[in-house]
Amino acid sequence: MPSGRRKYLYASLLILLIAGFAIYSRLTPKITALASTAREKRIDVRTQTVYTGTLEETLRLGGSITAEHLQLIQAPQLRGIRGTGTTVGNVSTTSTPSSSPTFTPVTGSALNGSGNRFSDRKGEPPPPSTPYTPPSTAGSVYNSLVSTASLRGAGASDFNLTLLKLAEPGTHVKQGDVIAEFDRQVQLLRQDDYLDTVKQLNDNIEKMRSDLQSVRKAHDHIIFSAKSDYDKAVLDLKTAEVRSANEAEGLKLNVEETKARYEQLLKEVKLLEASQNAQLQAAQIDRDQGKMELERAQHNVELMLVRAPMDGLVVLQSIYRGGDMGPAQQGDQLYSGRVFMEVIDPRSMLLSATANQVDGERIRLEMKARVHLDAYPGMEFPGHIAGINALSKTSYRRPNFKGDIDVRIKIDAIDDKVIPDISGSADVILGSEENQVIAPLNAIFYDENRPFVYLQTPGGWTRRDVTLGLRNNIQTTVRSGLAAGDVIALAPPVPAEKP
């Protein structure tokens, strides 16, 4: 080869080498940067190692602590005097017997045969009957009490309910212990008044029975005298044969007259008995009325001493007092029937919670729950669903289509810190699976509703189809496709470079 051409060839090769080195020098940093970026991307992929364990699906509900067994304590409903004015009860106070025995027996000379036997036939009035004035009964007693204003506690203001004593909140009490006392002074005075009244009425009835017995004896004596007059007239009639015609006729008329009077008195016995029974029953009715009023007063006295209906813990209720709401205190005046206290059983406590009506179908009785108290964040109490309301309720603050369902969760383990009216929450266990492979939900991807994961292998990332089971808000169980210890990607990884 000529030397000129050889030199030209060497020069061209040299130029190519120089150009190739320049190009290599320019491309090498870019290639290195791309490789480094790829490596960084592969390093930044977050992963999660699946494990075997127990997964629970829970629903959190909020509410407040209440007692399962409790008794409301109300201000007593006192019984006032029946009727108004001078009428006590439904029996008028003018019940004093006003009539005397209705019989009119013959007395004086007409009975002993002396004087003119026919004087009553000449227009002269018959002799007066034995007078009888019955003793005062409940009517006069009550009239005296009302008219002299000696019946204490007759005004509406005397039935006020003022608290004198009140058990301290949180006190443990036994059944029958006095937990509240109202001012009973007026009712005690009323009780004393009615007690004296009933005693006086009983004494009046006994006196009336004695007087009526005397009247009956007097009437029996009149009957005996009339029978004697009739027997004497019959004997006198036997002497008619030795007497003149006029005298004989007079004797016959005398026999007829005494017989009529005797028969009349016999008929009056039933009327006398009926009259006496009526007077006695009227007095007994007045006495029974007094007993009823005494029982009312005694009942009021007992009601104003409030006793614990069960063993438990005292909890005061808020009432309207002085323009503000607050617990009842000594000296407060309460309305009848107002609830001012509770006695609860601290051995059985509930969390009264609410659930969205959408979740109502998922909650069932006896489901387990874990109860937490806002006042004690580190404590947890086991519980279960004890009650679910059948109907949802709405609130004026929210749309009508959004309703809540009341749920009662019973706390199975009781502690002294579990007290009423403190807020809390419960995680209701809707379902659980044990000894299952658990994976995070953000590591599950879907291809046309078919779940899969990116599984890390020695050769790179591999797509793996899986079958899912129970899930909660952050995790799910994997029934097939993964094993404990597998590493999966939490985001789609960059495909590995070919060597």
**Which residues face 408 on adjacent strands?**
352, 387
Portion of the chain with pLDDT greater than 90, in percent: 27
Q: At what angle do helices 185-237 and 138-147 cross, to 10 degrees?
A: 140
Contacts of 383 (CB under 8 A, 6+ apart): 351, 368, 369, 370, 371, 409, 410, 411, 412, 426
Q: Which pLDDT band, with edges at 50, 70 and 90, does 251 fall under? A: confident
Asked if the structure places residue 165 within a domain, the reply is no
Among 400, 433, 466, which residue terminates a domain? Answer: 433
CA-based nearest residue to 431, from 336, 332, 347, 364: 364
Tell me the C-alpha to C-alpha distance, in Å, between residue 13 and each of 5, 6, 7, 19, 127: 13, 11, 10, 10, 180
Asked if the structure places residue 293 within a domain, the reply is yes
Are 416 and 65 in contact by the 8 Å Cβ rule? The answer is no
Highest mean pLDDT among 127-131, 264-268, 373-377, 401-405: 373-377
Asked if the structure places residue 78 within a domain, the reply is no
Q: Which domain holds residue 350?
A: 59-67+344-433
Residues 355 and 209 in one domain: no
pLDDT score, position 488: 93
Asked if the structure places residue 197 within a domain, the reply is yes
pLDDT in tens, 68-85: 899 999 898 887 655 444
Residues 36 and 63 in one domain: no
Residue 382 has pLDDT above 90, yes or no: yes
Residues 280 and 217 in one domain: yes
Could you give the CA distance from residue 290 to residue 423 in angstroms, rounded to a whole number?
Answer: 54
Residues 20 and 101 in one domain: no
Q: Which pLDDT band, with edges at 50, 70 and 90, does 25 fall under? A: low
Q: Residue 354's domain is classified under what CATH number? A: 2.40.30.170
pLDDT in tens, 386-421: 999 988 887 766 676 778 899 999 999 888 888 888
pLDDT score, position 101: 36
Q: Which pLDDT band, with edges at 50, 70 and 90, does 94 fall under? A: very low
The strand ranges marked E within 68-151 are 70-74
Asked if the structure places residue 169 within a domain, the reply is no
| Residue bearing tokens 């419960």 | 426
Residue 18 has pLDDT above 50, yes or no: yes
**Which H or E run includes 159?**
none
Asked if the structure places residue 485 within a domain, the reply is no
Which amino acid, residue 167? A
Residues 199 and 263 in one domain: yes
Are 61 and 372 in contact by the 8 Å Cβ rule? The answer is no
Q: How many domains does the chain have?
A: 3
DSSP annotation string for 228-240: HHHHHHHHHHTTG
Among 406, 433, 460, which residue terminates a domain? Answer: 433
Among 377, 411, 433, which residue terminates a domain? Answer: 433
More confident residue, 10 or 414: 414
DSSP annotation string for 278-342: HHHHHHHHHHHHHHHHHHHHHHHHHHTEEE-SSSEEEEEPEEEETTEEEE--TT-EE-TT-EEEE
Asked if the structure places residue 259 within a domain, the reply is yes
Residues 128 and 255 in one domain: yes
Residues 135 and 210 in one domain: yes
Asked if the structure places residue 483 within a domain, the reply is no
Q: DSSP 3-state assignment of 167?
A: coil
pLDDT in tens, 428-461: 999 999 999 999 999 999 988 899 999 999 888 9
**Residue 70's Cα: distance from chain center in Å?**
9
Tell me the C-alpha to C-alpha distance, in Å, between residue 213 and each of 90, 199, 277, 445, 477: 30, 21, 11, 111, 101
Residues 131 and 214 in one domain: yes
* Among the ranges given (39-43, 181-185, 473-477), the one the predictor scored with the smallest mean pLDDT: 39-43
Residues 25 and 137 in one domain: no
**Mean pLDDT calculated for residue range 113-118:** 37
Question: Where do runs of H (alpha helix) occur along 45-177?
Answer: 109-112, 138-147
Residues 33 and 99 in one domain: no
Residues 17 and 105 in one domain: no
DSSP annotation string for 371-421: EEETTEEEEEEEEEEEEE-SS-B--TTS-TT--EEEEEEEESS--TT--TT
Could you give the CA distance from residue 308 to residue 314 in angstroms, rounded to a whole number?
Answer: 9
pLDDT in tens, 184-225: 888 888 888 888 888 888 888 888 888 888 888 888 888 898
Q: How would you classify residue 51: left for phi > 0, otherwise alpha for psi between -120 and 50, otherwise beta?
A: beta
Could you give the CA distance from residue 178 to residue 89 in angstroms, rounded to a whole number?
Answer: 32
Are 110 and 119 in contact by the 8 Å Cβ rule? The answer is yes
Residues 260 and 350 in one domain: no
CA-based nearest residue to 450, from 433, 436, 464, 438: 464
